[in-house]
Structure 1
Amino acid sequence: MNWDWHVIDEFMPRFWDGVLVTLQALLLGSLMAFTLGLVWAIAQRSNNKWINWPVTGITEFIRNTPLLVQLFFFFYVVPEWGPSMSPLTTGILALGLHYSTYTAEVYRAGINGVPVGQWEAATALSLSKTRTWTSVILPQAIRRVVPALGNYVVAMLKDSPMIATIGAFDMLGEAQAFSNETFTTEAITLVGVAFILIAYPASVLIRFLERRLVQQ
């Protein structure tokens, strides 16, 4: 097989379209996963069983269901009950919701790692629950779990090609479509390199943050 740069030139416009879709899914999905995961984690610590039990059940169900099934459910089943969403919006929702159940466990571990004395000190100072969480508990817990949260960003990047199954063509989706049309492999190779170039700096940043946080 001979490498053909003309094929790459022809593919590049579609490649950049795919990169944009990939980054949108990754960034917005991560934001949703981090935010909703924190909500799940706090809700699971509630003493109210009408909050704790349903949230635990929902997160367990989502975490133990394949992401691909969830993508199909949101794209094909949910519109039967309400408004439909674009493929990209559906992909972001599915990625964010799926990974929020994993980040919830990370947050929960960080919260459980805060010394009991910190809770007791907040109670002794008569701090409200909101003040205790925002000023005492969460700053310590989140600092502990930043590296683990970063690992899920990388994992989400590697799972993002699944959104092409519902029509949101990311880098790999565009490359597969282009390769099927032209019977070439250069586009697939380029996308493989692109994933490495995106994921490796993220991994290096995660290790850097981990070392910095350990030293503090």
Structure 2
Amino acid sequence: MNESIWDWEKAWRVLPDLLDGLVITIEATVVGMIIASILGLVFALAMRAPTRWVRAPLRFVIDFIRMTPLLVQLVFVWLMLPAVPTLVVGFTVLGVHYATYMSEVYRAGIEAVPRGQWEASTALNLPKARTWRAVILPQAIRNTLPGLGNYAISMFKETPFLFAISVVEMYQAAQQFGALTFSYIEALTMVGLLFLIVSYPAALLVRRMEIRLA
């Protein structure tokens, strides 16, 4: 008689290791998202600098990061910084990589602020810093929230790339279990389900946010 392709006992046995990996996955996503959100805004504001000596080098850096694979960036930085903890390398590279995309979201949000808001700030003689802080950025960030949420979900789903630098997130935990038991189907299926359980409610929340802000 052929053995069953699915073994519930192995599925439940791998679950604790996968939950530990899920914690690492969420940590990398949250810290990476914080880095990406802040750095992306810095990029967007810097790209509005009046001098091309700021814009041109920054544009080159942004395009370089976008046009090279995330996996290659992770391994390269990991090899260049062997003394840095792998998880730190992971969420830093994730953050910088996604910051280049979020900068475009911020740029679109800033440009979506009605021109009348700029003119009203000028008419009230508001300082430029206060205009940005109190008038422009609150409206721009509100417009970008759905886009930032979508990138957070994308980052969460790309954390399995961290296996390449030996971070034991969910995918790596599943691979290690499979290497010990020669049973990969149960472990990888459970990984997919855990990703779905976390990302699907987040996607619904982002979709609802888009409707409310439309």
In the superposition, the TM-score normalised over structure 2's length comes to 0.94
Offset from partner CA, 1:85-116 (integer Å, 9 cap, x none): 11111110110000000000000011111122
SS of the residue 1:126 aligns to: coil
Identity %: 47
Shift of 1:123: 1.6
Offset from partner CA, 1:157-216 (integer Å, 9 cap, x none): 1111001110001111110111122111211111111111111001000011111112xx
Q: What residue in structure 2 maps to residue 96 of structure 1?
A: 95
2:191 maps to 1:188: no
Rounded Cα–Cα distance in structure 2 between residues aligned with 1:112 and 1:10 = 52
Amino acid at match of 1:197: I
Rounded Cα–Cα distance in structure 1 between residues aligned with 2:25 and 2:13 = 20
**52, 60, 64: which one aligns with 1:61:** 64
Rounded Cα–Cα distance in structure 1 between residues aligned with 2:113 and 2:47 = 16
Amino acid at match of 1:74: V
Shift of 1:56: 1.6
Rounded Cα–Cα distance in structure 2 between residues aligned with 1:170 and 1:197 = 16
Rounded Cα–Cα distance in structure 2 between residues aligned with 1:32 and 1:41 = 14
Is the Cα–Cα contact under 8 Å of residues 15 and 190 in structure 2 kept in the other structure? no
Q: What residue in structure 2 maps to residue 142 of structure 1?
A: 141
Shift of 1:141: 0.9
* Number of residue pairs matched by the alignment: 210
**RMSD (CA atoms):** 1.3
Q: What residue in structure 2 maps to residue 200 of structure 1?
A: 200
Amino acid at match of 2:204: V
Shift of 1:5: 2.6
Q: What residue in structure 2 maps to residue 46 of structure 1?
A: 49
Rounded Cα–Cα distance in structure 2 between residues aligned with 1:108 and 1:78 = 32
Offset from partner CA, 1:41-73 (integer Å, 9 cap, x none): 000001132322222221111111110111011
Q: What residue in structure 2 maps to residue 116 of structure 1?
A: 115
Shift of 1:149: 1.0
Shift of 1:14: 1.3
SS of the residue 1:177 aligns to: helix
2:77 maps to 1:74: yes
**3, 8, 14: which one aligns with 1:5:** 8
SS of the residue 2:171 aligns to: helix
Shift of 1:6: 2.1
Shift of 1:148: 1.1
Shift of 1:145: 1.3
- Structure 1 segments unaligned to the other structure (5+ residues): none
2:31 maps to 1:28: yes
- Structure 2 segments unaligned to the other structure (5+ residues): none
Rounded Cα–Cα distance in structure 2 between residues aligned with 1:67 and 1:119 = 38
Structure 1 stretch displaced more, 123-132 or 64-73 = 123-132
2:20 maps to 1:17: yes
Amino acid at match of 2:160: P
